[in-house]
């Protein structure tokens, strides 16, 4: 069951006026953060999703779930994903950006040099076992081999703006995460609150194809296009974080509809069990979604620093056994929920 925190009072679904105030206050806070800041909490009450239980899971202390040597600790953990060998790969901000763990929590290896990055953010494997990592500070997307060697860089490091192929401007504006369709095309979602929110489509070799989206609350617009998943039918699911929704598109950018929720939609993970899993960022939960209609079947977690709580439930992944791993940027750890 979710842990109830007395200071966190369930808030009714905001009216249109309140929603606009929430978006304006969030934008103001994001515009004022220093470049080195790791995360910025929203300037509003934290909101729970109206789904109070998700049976069949229990949280375990991060310190017991992961065996780290005395001279190594988690930093601000941005993303988690499973590699082709079934090990957990962690992306964090700090001197050791990549950490690989076996299923029993044993540290297999670290790799990468944190000095090469600014604010690492999203992480995904492609079908060939290569890594795709985003950096919202450098405004780039990188393709890496399994050992972290850079194979391709999209974007112009250290510069942000609008991607304009006709004028030779190859610019992202805070690229958040990547995903691939069944043909191998790459999709990048961008705009971390300050950056211009869009979806950009590329071929597998990095050739630009198209883009869509802008800032706003209308269909096809975003506050922050923060996460993306693509199903077997090539339907795109984009987490529109501060607009509290998941928008659905086809591969040409045609709007197919949206699923609305009562709190942030921060991270998405489409698992082999046929369900879509989500996190709610600073609102402090992860949940399970019915792919047929977008119904939130249940949630677990709450804001805080205790076991099973989150400072910021950022991105998530599940292993083959259904155990849930959530990257917590603020609490600087990976939170694990064991499937019973």
Model pLDDT for residues 152-177, shown as the tens digit of each residue: 999 999 999 999 999 999 999 999 99
Structure tokens at 329: 């940027």
Q: Which whole number is the average pLDDT over 39-57?
A: 85
Q: What is the pLDDT of residue 35?
A: 38
How confident is the model over 11-43, as pLDDT tens digits? 444 444 444 444 444 444 444 433 334 567 887
Beta pairing class for 57-60 and 88-93: unpaired
Sheet with 267-270, strands from edge to edge, namely: 267-270, 276-279, 286-289, 296-300
Question: ∠ CA 71-76-82 to the nearest 5 degrees?
Answer: 90
Write the burial class of residue 280 (CB in 10 Å: 0-12 exposed, 13-18 middle, 19+ buried).
buried
- Measured CA to CA, the distance from residue 279 to residue 272 in angstroms comes to 18
Q: Which whole number is the average pLDDT over 295-311?
A: 97
How confident is the model over 110-150, as pLDDT tens digits? 999 999 999 999 999 999 999 999 999 999 999 999 999 99
Question: ∠ CA 186-190-195 to the nearest 5 degrees?
Answer: 155
Q: What is the pLDDT of residue 14?
A: 41
Question: ∠ CA 29-31-33 to the nearest 5 degrees?
Answer: 70
Q: Which whole number is the average pLDDT over 240-247?
A: 98
Write out 228-292 in H/E/C secondary structure: EEECCCCCEEEEEHHHCEEEEECCCCCEEEEEECCCCCCEEEECCCCCEEEECECCCCEEEECCC
Q: Which residues pair with 276 in a beta bridge?
A: 270, 289
- Measured CA to CA, the distance from residue 263 to residue 153 in angstroms comes to 34
Averaged pLDDT of the chain = 90
How confident is the model over 245-269, as pLDDT tens digits? 999 999 999 999 999 999 999 999 9
- Measured CA to CA, the distance from residue 169 to residue 7 in angstroms comes to 48
- Measured CA to CA, the distance from residue 320 to residue 330 in angstroms comes to 27
Right CATH for 16-339 from 3.40.50.300, 2.60.40.1180, 3.40.50.410, 2.120.10.30? 2.120.10.30
Which helix (DSSP H) or strand (DSSP E) does residue 31 occupy? helix 16-31
Residue 280: strand, helix, or coil? coil
- Measured CA to CA, the distance from residue 103 to residue 321 in angstroms comes to 10
Is pLDDT at 54 greater than 80 in this prediction? yes
- Measured CA to CA, the distance from residue 247 to residue 267 in angstroms comes to 13
Least Cα distance to 294 among 334, 238, 336, 340 occurs for: 238
Which helix (DSSP H) or strand (DSSP E) does residue 243 occupy? none
pTM: 0.89
Is pLDDT at 9 greater than 50 in this prediction? no
Q: What is the pLDDT of residue 43?
A: 79
């Amino acid at each position: 069951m979710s842990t109830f925190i007395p200071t966190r009072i369930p808030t009714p679904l905001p009216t249109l006026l309140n929603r606009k105030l929430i978006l304006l206050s969030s934008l103001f806070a994001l515009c004022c953060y220093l470049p080195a800041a790791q995360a910025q909490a929203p300037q509003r009450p934290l909101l729970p999703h109206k789904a109070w239980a998700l049976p069949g899971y229990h949280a375990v202390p991060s310190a017991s779930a992961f065996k780290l040597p005395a001279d190594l600790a988690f930093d601000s953990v941005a993303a988690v994903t499973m590699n082709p060998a079934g090990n957990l790969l962690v992306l964090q901000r700090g001197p050791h950006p990549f950490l690989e763990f076996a299923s029993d929590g044993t540290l297999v290896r670290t790799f990468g040099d944190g000095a090469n990055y600014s604010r690492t953010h999203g992480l995904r494997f492609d079908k060939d076992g290569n890594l795709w990592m985003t950096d919202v500070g450098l405004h780039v997307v990188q393709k890496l081999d399994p050992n972290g060697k850079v194979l391709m860089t999209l974007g112009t490091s250290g510069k942000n703006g609008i991607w304009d192929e006709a004028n030779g401007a190859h610019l992202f504006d805070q690229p958040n995460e990547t995903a691939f369709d069944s043909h191998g095309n790459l999709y990048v979602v961008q705009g971390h609150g300050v950056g211009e929110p869009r979806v950009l489509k590329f071929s597998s070799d990095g050739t630009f194809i198209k883009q869509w989206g802008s800032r706003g609350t209308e269909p096809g617009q975003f506050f922050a296009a923060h996460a993306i998943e693509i199903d077997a039918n090539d339907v795109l699911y984009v987490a529109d974080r501060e607009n509290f929704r998941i928008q659905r598109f086809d591969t040409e950018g045609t709007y197919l509809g949206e699923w609305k929720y009562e709190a942030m939609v921060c991270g998405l993970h489409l698992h082999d069990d046929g369900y879509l899993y989500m996190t709610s960022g600073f609102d402090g939960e992860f949940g399970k979604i019915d792919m047929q209609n977008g119904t939130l079947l249940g949630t677990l977690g709450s804001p805080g620093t205790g076991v099973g709580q989150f400072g910021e439930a950022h991105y998530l992944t599940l292993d083959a056994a259904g155990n849930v791993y959530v990257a917590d940027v603020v609490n600087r750890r990976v939170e694990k929920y064991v499937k019973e």
